[in-house]
Chains A and B, each alone.
Chain A
């Protein structure tokens, strides 16, 4: 497993860092969220 560092920049100027694990060979959509 690899770690993905996801940084979110919020409207108030704050930032949050989320570290998620994902397979060694990541897919095109790293977060795996469904398409609209």
Chain B
């Protein structure tokens, strides 16, 4: 009796006896070969998923957190204490401000120090497509002890800013109206991304 080239499965000639044990032997070989193949596919799939995950963790923008304010307020403090500045090349803050007026401007500052200003800008009317969007790109460059440097966009005078305060300081970004007559409205959106 002949056998196949790869798995040595039985091949009957006309004169060969047909025995149950030959079929059982073939089935055991097929079962073992299928299991080996399935295990190899599973291992390769896991390895590829792990590799993709590792690359994804170091590519593009990653959302650190997002939210929208639930109460009207004159001042919003966006706490940044959860950010490990040593892990990011850049951190992006995006704010879609909805405000009680669009004719008055609010300021964006690093902490409460008004001299650490990213600029001032107007808000948007609730229910309308937003036109005024704040986008601040902070550049820690993997160093929490670096002085704050950033590009500020959406403000009336966009540009580069640098402050004598460090990323690692326990800080927040403050959006605030000087006059308490004016409010940020509930629904104002903020998003923080990290960039590797």
Chain A contact-residue range equals 20 to 34
Whether A9 and B67, one on each chain, are in contact in the complex, defined by CB atoms closer than 8 angstroms, is yes
Of A13, A15, A30, A33, the residue contacting B178 (CB under 8 A) is A30
Say whether B74 faces chain A, with CB atoms less than 8 Å apart.
yes
Whether B81 and A28, one on each chain, are in contact in the complex, defined by CB atoms closer than 8 angstroms, is no
Chain A min CB distance to B149 (Å) = 16
The DSSP consensus for interface residues of chain B is loop
Task: Name the CB-closest residue of B to A29.
Answer: B114
Whether A7 and B114, one on each chain, are in contact in the complex, defined by CB atoms closer than 8 angstroms, is no
Chain A min CB distance to B73 (Å) = 4
Q: What are the residues of chain A within 8 A of B111 when measuring CB–CB?
A: 33, 36
Supposing A26-B180, A29-B112, A33-B112 touch, asked if A5 and B74 sit within 8 A by C-beta, the answer is yes
- Per-residue 0/1 for B172-196: is the Cβ within 8 Å of any A Cβ (1 yes, 0 no)? 1000101110011000001000000
Whether A26 and B179, one on each chain, are in contact in the complex, defined by CB atoms closer than 8 angstroms, is yes
CA of A11 to CA of B170, assembled, Å: 12
Task: Name the CB-closest residue of A to B115.
Answer: A35
Whether B70 and A6, one on each chain, are in contact in the complex, defined by CB atoms closer than 8 angstroms, is no
Chain B min CB distance to A14 (Å) = 9
Residue positions of A touching B, CB distance < 8 A = 2-11, 13, 15, 17, 22, 26, 28-31, 33, 35-36
Q: List 17 A-B contacts (CB under 8 A).
A: A3-B180, A5-B180, A6-B76, A7-B75, A9-B76, A9-B77, A9-B79, A11-B65, A11-B79, A15-B70, A15-B71, A17-B71, A28-B114, A30-B176, A31-B75, A35-B115, A36-B165
